[in-house]
Structure 1
Amino acid sequence: MNLTREQIRVMIYYDYKKQLSQEECLESLHKTFDDSCVSRATVYNWFAEFSRGRDHFEDEPRAGRPRTAVTPENIEAVRELVNIDPHITYQQIEDTLQIGSTSTEIILHDYLGLKNVTCRWVPHSLSEAQKQDRVDYCLQMLKKFDGGKSKRVYDIITSDESWFYYYDPETKRQSQVWVASNDPHPTKVRRQRSVGKHMFAIFFMKSGFNTIIPLENGKTVTAKWYANECLTQVLKKVEKHRRLNDLLIHHDNAPAHRAALTMEYLDIQHVKLMGHPAYSPDLSPCDFWLFPKIKEQLRGKNFQDINELDDAVRTQIDCLQKDDFYQCYEKWFERMNKCISAQGHYFEQI
C-alpha cells in the first residue's frame, strides 16, 4: 500500500499533537512502514508548519507560484533541508517545497555549491577521547618499534575472529565484464548473502601464517574457548621455532580477549599482551588486510557445509606468500603514521 502525502502528513500531525519530537515521529513512521515512506526533512518541515498554525494537509495552491522557483526563500529552505538531512533526495526536496527539478538542481549546485557523493562508512563515531587514544597508541608503537624497523616487530603475533559465509555475493566491481558495443549486457539473478556462516580465529606474524581455528557450531566466542583452544594451539606452534618469553600477543578489546581467564593464561605462559585502541579495525592487520583479502576471493562461491568453507578459507591462506605477511606489517606501521596525521580520525575506508 502506497501512502499519499496527505496521509503521511496526518500521521505527522498526530505525533506533533502528542508532543513527540521530530526524531521520535520519524522513528515511529520508519518502524511502522519503512525508511522510504518519509524523509527526515519532511518531518521537520511539517512540524515547523504546524507550529506556525497550519491547519490543513493539502498542498498550497500553486497558481500564484512564480515562473522561477529560484528565490531567496527557497534557497534558504533547501539549505535548511540539507542541513537537517544530508541524505535527502532531489525528489524529496521537490515534494517538500513544491518546486521543479530544474530549480532544485540550480539551487543545490549553483547557489549552495553542493554535490552528491556516496558516504564512506566508518566503524564508529569516535569521541575526542577515543581519537586521542588512537593517536597515543600509534605514537607509543612507533617509538617502541622504531617506526616498524625494529627486529622486535617479528615477536608480534596478531589475531582476530571473523564470520565467513557459505555464500557471499560478488561485489558490483567483481561482476563487471567487457562486452562488444553491440552486445546485450549480461544479466545475473540478485542473490542475498546466505544465513549459513562460520566463525574462524586466525593468527599470523610478520614472518608468516601461524594458525586458523574454527569455532564449533552453535558456540560463541568465550574466554575459555579463546584461551584453552586458540591460544594453546598458537603457542604450541610458536614453541616449535622459538621461545615464548619475548612473544607479544596483539588482538582487539573483545570481551574474550580481555577476560581474566585469558590474562591469567598469558601470564602463566610468560607471554606479554599488547594494547589496542577501541573501535580501531583500521589499525588491526586482520581487519584491514587479511579478512578482506580472503573474503574477496570467496565471493560468488557456494559452500555446502563447514568442511567446504573451511577448506576454501585455508586454501586462500595457503596461496599467500611470506612476503605478503611482511608487507602487511609494513603497512600496519604506515597506517599508524596516517592515524597521527589525521589526529585520530579514521583515515581511509577499511
Structure 2
Amino acid sequence: MELTRENIRAMIYIYYYDFYFRRGLTQQQCIDQLTSILVMKLHLKLSTVYHWFSEFNRGRSMLTDEVKAGRPKSVVVPQNIEAVRKLIMHDRHVTYPEIEATLGISMTSINSILHDQIAVKKNCSRWIPHNLTKEQKDVRVEWCNKMFKKYNRGDSKAVYNIYTGDESWIYAYDPETKQQSTVWVFQNEPNPTKVTRAKSTLKQMAACFFGINGHVATVPLENRKTVNSDWYTTICLPEVFQQIRKTNQRRRIILHHDNVSCHTSRETTLFLEGQNVELTGHPPYSPDLAPNDFYLFPNIKNKLRGQRFSTAEDAVHAFKQHVMEVPQAEWQKCFKNWFTRMQKCIDHQGEYFEKQ
C-alpha cells in the first residue's frame, strides 16, 4: 500500500512521542533513532524527518496541510496602470526602481504593466541635425517638389548636368567605430580590449565635387585656413569647372551646394553668374538631402578610420584615392537615392526621415 503524506507524518509522530516522552530520550537521541528507523529502513528523506520533528516539537499536532492564504491579489489593476502611465508622462527617463519605490509594487508587476498593458518600450533618443520649425519643414517640401518637377523625379537628362559638392575635415587619424573593432573570439579566449583614442589634431579641410558619372575634383584647403568666399571662388570652383569642361566645353553646369556663408555670399553669386552656372538651391538644415553628407563623406571616411597618416596632406591624398575608386554604378545609385530621399521628405511633411 502506498503511504500518503498524512501516513508518513503519523509514523514520524508515533516514533517522536514514543522516544521523547515515554522513553525520555534527549532531542539528539530521538533524531538519531528516527533517522535509523525512518530514513534508513523506510527510505524517507532526512529533511522530511527533521522538518516534522521540529513541527511536533513546537507543539503542532495536525497532520494535514495548513490552510494557505491563497494566491495574492494581482496589483495589475487600472489604478496602478494609470499611475505608471502618469509617471512616464511626467518623466520619460523614469526607471524600474523609481516606479517600485513610488507605487510599492513588484518588478514583475511593473514589467507586466509597461509591456502588456500600456505597451511602451525604452528607446535611445534619435539625434537630428536641427529642431525644424514649421516654416523650415515647408521649405524642405517645397524644394523637393521643385526638384521633382524640374528633373522629372530624377529621370530627366538634365540630371547629368548636376554637380554637387561640399567641404569636410579629413583627419590624419580617425579611430575605428565600435562596430569596426569587432573580431572573432574563440570560446576559451579573453575578450579583446582596445585603448580609447581621440581624433588626430592633424587635419585638413577638403572640398569634394561629383556628378552622376563620377568624381570631378577634390580640392584641399591649404594651411588649414577657414573656408571663405575668396578661396571658394578663386581656387575651389575654378578647378571644379575646369575639370568639368575638359570633357565637354558646351556642357551646361548645374551646381548644388548647401547654404553656408561662403556658398551664398555676394562674391560667390557674382562669380557663378559670370560663369553662367545655374544653381539648384538647397533647403536649410538639410544634410539628409545633400549627397556629400548622406553618401560620400560617411562612406569614404569609414574606409580611412583606424589608419594613421603622418600628415594631413597624406590623409587627403588617401581620401581622394578612395573616391577615385568608386565605380560609376555607385555614383548613379547615389543620385537615384537622392531623389528617393526627396520623396521621403515629402512623405514625412518636411520632417527628418531617418536615424542619425
Alignment partner of 1:316 is 2:322: yes
Residues 81 and 221 (structure 1), Cα distance of their counterparts in 2 relative to 1, 3 Å cut = farther
Alignment of 1:1-350 (within 5 A): 75-91=81-97, 93-94=99-100, 101-243=107-249, 246-349=252-355
**1:235, 1:244 within 8 Å by CA — same for their partners in 2?**
no
Q: Call closer, same or farther: CA 1:252–1:98 in 2, change over 3 Å.
A: farther
Assess if the C-alpha contact under 8 Å between 1:223 and 1:257 holds in 2.
Answer: yes
Q: What is the CA–CA distance in structure 1 between the aligned matches of 2:146 and 2:203, rounded to whole Å?
A: 37
- Quick check: which has more Rg, 1 or 2? 2
> When the two structures are superposed, what TM-score results if normalisation uses the length of structure 2?
0.72
Residue 204 of structure 1 aligns to a residue whose secondary structure is: strand
* Residues 202 and 312, structure 2, Cα contact 8 Å, conserved in 1: no
- 1:166-199 Cα offsets, whole Å, 9 max, x none, are 3222222212222333433222222233344322
Decide which moves more: 234-243 or 84-93: 84-93
After alignment, is 170-179 or 135-144 more displaced? Answer: 170-179
Query: Structure 1 residues 85 and 234 mapped into 2: Cα distance closer, same or farther (>3 Å)?
Result: farther
Amino acid of the structure 2 residue aligned with 1:301: Q
SS of 2:340 mapped into structure 1: helix
Aligned residue pairs total 285
Contact 2:175 2:305 (C-alpha < 8 Å) held by counterparts: yes
Change in 2 beyond 3 A, CA 1:192/1:104: farther
One-letter amino acid matched to 1:228:
T
* Gap change, CA 1:308 and 1:251, over 3 Å in 2: same
Q: How much does 1:70 deviate? A: 5.9
| Paired residue type of 1:241 | T
Does the CA-based 8 Å contact 2:161-2:251 persist in structure 1? no
Q: Aligned in 2, Cα 1:273/1:112: closer, same or farther, shift over 3 Å?
A: same
What runs of 5+ residues in structure 2 fail to find an aligned partner? 1-71
**Cα distance, 1:337–1:182 mapped onto 2, change above 3 Å:** same
Runs (5+) with no aligned partner, structure 1: 1-65
Q: Deviations over 1:113-170 (max 9, x none)?
A: 1111233322112222222211111111111111111111011110111122232222
**Residue number in structure 2 paired with 1:27:** none
Kindly state the Cα deviation for residue 210 of structure 1 after the two structures are TM-superposed. Answer: 0.8
Give the CA deviation at 1:80. Answer: 3.2
Distance 1:92 1:303, change over 3 A: farther
Q: Percent identity?
A: 47
Compute the displacement of 1:253 (Å): 0.8
1:257: Cα distance to partner?
A: 0.7
Report the Cα distance in structure 2 between the residues aligned to 1:123 and 1:107, rounded to whole angstroms.
35
Say whether the 8 Å CA contact 1:244–1:271 is kept in structure 2. no
Report the 3-state secondary structure (helix = DSSP H, G, I; strand = E; otherwise coil) of the residue aligned with 1:164. strand
Residue 104 of structure 1, CA deviation? 3.8
CA distance in structure 1 between the partners assigned to 2:175 and 2:98 by the alignment: 31
RMSD: 2.5
1:90 Cα deviation from its structure 2 partner:
3.6
Q: Is the 8 A contact 2:288 2:294 kept in 1?
A: yes
Give, as a single letter, the amino acid of the residue that structure 2 aligns with 1:287: D
The amino acid that maps onto 2:195 is: V
* Cα distance change on mapping 1:95 and 1:308 into 2, 3 Å: farther
